[in-house]
Structures are given as structure tokens and as C-alpha cells.
Amino acid sequence: MSSYNNNSVRLNAATKVAVFGGTHGNEMSGVTLVNLWMKNSNEIQRKGVETKPFITNPKAVEKCTRYVDTDLNRAFTAENLSAPGGESLPYEVWRAQEINNMFGPKGSPEAYDVIFDLHNTTSNMGCTLILESSKDHFNLQMMNYIKKALAPASCLVLLNEHPLLKYSTSRSVAKHPVGLEVGPQPQGVLRSNIFDSMRVIIKHALDFIELFNEDVEFPPCTVEVFRVLERVDYPRDANGNIIAMVHPNLQDCDWEPLNPGDPMFQTFDGKTIHYQGPGTVYPTFINEAAYYEKQQAFVTTKRETLVASAVKKS
Ligand SMILES: CC(=O)N[C@@H](CC(=O)O)C(=O)O
Ligand SMILES: [Zn+2]
């Protein structure tokens, strides 16, 4: 619970922290880092915090596939979490209930304070932190801390609080859910640069939590975020088959401005399809492999500057 005191948001110490890997079993940086930390967790321990490394979808990891029955990172709905049926449920629905029992219950005071969920993308997104709320001042302060600690390397913040496009993530059982999405990395593949970037972001994030728990007050700050606006599907024929690819001018240009009239898709017979929106947007998750099944070629975002209140331990 938060209350305001001298304009500073007061929060309890963040003592229960988890790092999830393998929410998608073919995203290898998170799987590998979490497996490493399960053998020896010294690197992720900090004073006054217990950090638990955890493989969320072991069956998918074993098969090196995104999921077995259904996408675990969409499964944490109130309906799924209360569904009867036990082991007769789809594997990931059952697993979501188990994770909710261990790290939640979602929305309850007993829930974990912070969960970092490690993902890789085939898109050229670089280092991206994913937030689910613009009002979580603890997380906004953490984003600011990580960005400053990483500079001159960069790390962008994707904010998904879209009423229709937001989904029920594994990390959403925590009070402060943080997604970490690093790419480009093919599915089933490890790249050392991507692995190292992910590792250093988790280091800074845990350092922030340690400082917070040691009573450091973080003064008000601003954080640049990219807010999810719209899902854009591939052009399709009447039978629903894809008839175009991401245009070469857009491919790999995640986070770069896309203006009305700019090339967006290239049909198989060589025609260019242009972006027709009303103004400049910042596309991301461009040509993500896992999103073909979700009818998404990319997502558009708009840049926003959020103000984070000061935060301090109560
Ligand atoms: C490529 C990929 O899996 N991205 C994640 C993003 C997130 O964690 O919010 C997902 O769709 O679940
Ligand atoms: Zn993923």
C-alpha cells in the first residue's frame, strides 16, 4: 500500500523478488541465465532481499518451443486462475495456477514484490523493459535508475496499458511486474551480446532494489516511455493468407519514426504498401516470429514522458 508523505511515495521494502526465465521455452537467454542462477544464485542476491530464479514453463523449455498447449504469458486471467480441473486443464493454465500459488496470489498483499520476466525477441529492439502501468512509481524509478546506470548504452521502456492489447502476463502476479525483452535473437539460439545485455540489466535492477531497501530516497524524475497504440497485421487475401512482408525500409527499424506515407509492407509481387495513419508513430516488435500466430506484423507506439514521484521505503 502506498501513501503520500512530503510528495514521496512510501512503500514497504521489496523483500520478495523473482527472476523468471522460460515463460517462452525457446527464448534462450532467459532460460540459460535462470538455469545458471538456479545452480548458484550469488550473483542475484542482495542485502535484505531473497531473489528466486525460476523456470516458469519447464515443459516448453524441454521441447524448446514457445508453449505446449497455450501461451503462458497470456494465461494469468482471473478466469484461468480460478478454473477447476487441475491437471486436466491445458498445461499452461494449470501451470499458471501453480505459479500464482507460489508467487501470488495476484493482487494480494502476500504476492511477490517484484518479478522480472526474461524474454527474447527476433525483432531488432535492443534492450527493452516492459511495464504494465504508468502509475507504478517504484517501477518508473527503477527504469530511470537502470537507464542511467547503463548509459551510454541504451534501454527503452515499452508501456503496455492498452485496454484491448494488454495481456495477462506471468509477471503480473507480482506487485511490480517488469518484463525484459532483448533482441534480436532467433528462437532456440543463444547470442552472447544479447545474453550479456540481459544479465547487466538484471544486475542494475537488483542494485536499485537493494538501495531502495537501504532507505535511499529516489527524487522525482521523468522517464521516456513508448506507449502501445495499435497492432498492425500483415496484409492478407480473402482466405486469410499473408500476401506481403515487412518492407525492407521498415525491417529492423524498431523504435524509428514511421510517418504517414512511409513504406510499410512489400507484397510478394513487388508492390509497396504505405503507412496511412494520421501521424508519426514508433513501431516495435517488427517481424517478431512469435507474433505470426497472433496476426501481428508490428505494434505502433507513441513517445511519452512520464513523471515519477519520489519513492522511499516506509
Ligand atoms: C516475443 C515475446 O514473447 N514477447 C513477449 C512480450 C512480453 O513479455 O510482454 C510476449 O509476447 O509475451
Ligand atoms: Zn517471450
CB-based contacts of 293, cutoff 8 Å, min separation 6:
none
Residue 181 catalytic? yes
Give the pLDDT means over successive 10-residue stretches in the chain (314 positions): 65 97 98 98 96 98 98 98 96 98 98 98 98 98 98 98 97 98 98 98 98 97 98 98 98 98 98 97 98 98 98 96
Give the pLDDT score at 7.
Answer: 77
Domain-by-domain residue ranges, the chain? 3-225+307-313, 234-300
Evaluate whether 11 touches 216 at the Cβ level (below 8 Å): no
Q: 3-225+307-313 belongs to which CATH class?
A: alpha beta
ipTM over 0.95? The verdict is: yes
Q: Is 24 in the pocket of ligand 1 (CB under 6 A)?
A: yes
- Does 73 show up as a binding residue in the annotation? yes
**Cα gap 51→16, rounded to integer Å:** 7
Residue 248: predicted pLDDT: 98
pTM as predicted: 0.97
The atom number, within ligand 1, closest to the CA of 285 reads 1
User: Rounded distance, CA 229 to CA 282, Å?
Assistant: 9
Question: Is there a binding annotation on residue 314?
Answer: no
Is the C-beta atom of 288 inside 6 A of ligand 1? yes
Instruction: Check 92, 181, 214, 304 and give the catalytic one.
Output: 181
The pLDDT of residue 4 is 46
Q: How far apart are CA 92 and CA 80, in angstroms?
A: 10
**HEC string of the chain?**
CCEEECCEEEECCCCEEEEEECCCCCCHHHHHHHHHHHHCCHHHCECCEEEEEEECCHHHHHHCCCCCCCCHHHCCCHHHHCCCCHHHCCHHHHHHHHHHHHHCCCCCCCCCCEEEEEEECCCCCEEEEEECCCCCHHHHHHHHHHHHHHCCCCCEEEECCCCCCCCCCHHHHCCEEEEEEEECCCCCCCCHHHHHHHHHHHHHHHHHHHHHHCCCCECCEEEEEEEEEEEECCCECCCCCECEEECCCCCCCCCCCECCCCEEEEECCCCEEECCCCCCEEEECCCCHHHCCCCCCEEEEEEEEEEECEEEEC
Residue from 20, 172, 164 nearest 106 by CA: 172
Cα 24 to ligand 2 centre (Å): 5
Architecture of domain 234-300: Single Sheet (2.20)
- The answer to whether the annotation marks 204 as part of a ligand binding site is no
Q: Which residue matches cell numbers 503520500? A: 4
pLDDT of residue 99: 98
Whole-number Å distance, alpha carbon 129 to ligand 2 midpoint, is 12
Cβ atoms of residues 112 and 104 within 8 Å = yes
Residues in Cβ contact with 187 at an 8 Å cutoff, skipping those fewer than 6 apart: 26, 27, 66, 120, 122, 289, 290
Rounded distance, CA 95 to CA 81, Å? 10
